[in-house]
Amino acid sequence: MNPIDTVNNPVPLVELKGVHRVFGRGESAVHALAGIDLKVEPGEFLAVMGASGSGKSTCMNLIGCLDRPTAGHYSFDGIDVGALSADQLALLRRHRIGFVFQGFNLLPRTTALENVELPLVYQRVGSAERHRRALETLNSLGLLHRAHHTPAELSGGQQQRVAIARALVTQPVLLVADEPTGNLDSSTSQEIMELLTGLNREQGITIVMVTHEEDMAAFASRIVVFVDGRITRDELREGGTSCSGTPS
């Protein structure tokens, strides 16, 4: 997919309209998101920034279909997420979305290969095909020689690359990354960011990345900044493909 073509796509991949997310009830209720409008077009690389408690993680969970809005409307690739059941959300994540976490979250004492195969197990892919695709993905990330190592035998950067392979093996349309470099040193962070940028540019994978580091956000094509549950800044950077956010 060429990112340039997607500008003409009539349906944005992610479209939030007046989204609220409230935790708790009554007096103790916390308004984590207080009316968010955000569009992400296919092929964008969006960095979500903000202080802790600003609502950026809540927003990322919503975009990743791990959660549903309390009020407002979220459509993912034209699908109304608010109307889906928990199992339907699981199926949506299974087939369309990949996740990369700050803490890598690889299964311990399980080889890199088995970790990468895991999403395909839930997709009911046969074991030979699973094997082939997992090895192919690991190979494309330069980790073929590490396929049979467990996370404990891998460096942080390698672990994160295995996690990225796990997210990519299902060929998702959206990659959601929660502080992917948060646990890595600066040179490894640089590597991971270059990897993500490459995936975005060359394979056209849409990426939504939460970070609080300016340096990392600088790799994205667009940056939105959250303050107190609202988007206060939405800027397109060099190489950006779209500008659809509406700061409130």
Partner 1 sequence: MFWNTLLMSLRAIQRNALRSFLTILGIVIGVAAVVALLTIGEGAKAQVTKDISALGKNLLSLHSGVSHRPGASLMSARAFNLADVDAIRRDIDGIDHVVPSASARSLVVNSNVNWSTTITGTTADFLPCRGYKLEKGRVFSTAEEASGNLVCLLGATVSKEILDGDEPVGQRIRAGRVSCLVIGVLEAKGQAAMGQDQDDLVLMPIRAFQRRVAGNDDVSPIYLNVSDSWSSTAIKSSVESLMRERRGILPGAEDDFHVRDMQEIASLVQGSASVLTALLSAIAAVSLLVGGIGIMNIMLVSVTERTREIGVRLAIGATSAEVMQQFLVEASVLSGLGGVIGLGLGLGGAALATRGMGMPFLPSPLVATAAFVFSVMVGIVFGFLPARRAAGLNPIEALRHE
Give the binding site for partner 1 (CB under 8 A): 61, 64, 66-67, 86-87, 90-91, 93-95, 98-99, 101, 103, 105, 107-110, 114, 118-119, 121-124, 127, 166-167
- CA neighbor of 58 nearest in space, from 224, 170, 226, 188: 226
Instruction: Select 79 or 236, whichever has its Cβ closest to partner 1.
Output: 79
Query: Is the Cβ of residue 8 or residue 28 nearer to partner 1 in the bound state?
Result: 28
Rounded to whole angstroms, the Cα distance separating 73 from 35 reads 10
Least distance between partner 1 and beta carbon 66 (Å): 5
3-state SS assignment for residue 94: helix
Q: How far is the CB of 57 from partner 1 (least distance, A)?
A: 9
Residue ranges in the chain assigned as alpha helix (H): 56-63, 86-96, 112-122, 127-140, 156-168, 186-203, 214-217
In angstroms, give the least distance from the CB of 239 to partner 1: 29
Cβ proximity to partner 1: between 34 and 66 the closer is: 66
- 100: nearest Cα among 86, 89, 115, 120: 115
Closest to partner 1 by CB, 165 or 223: 165
User: Residue 104 CB, nearest distance to partner 1 (Å)?
Assistant: 10
The token pair that represents 10 in the structure block:
């009539």
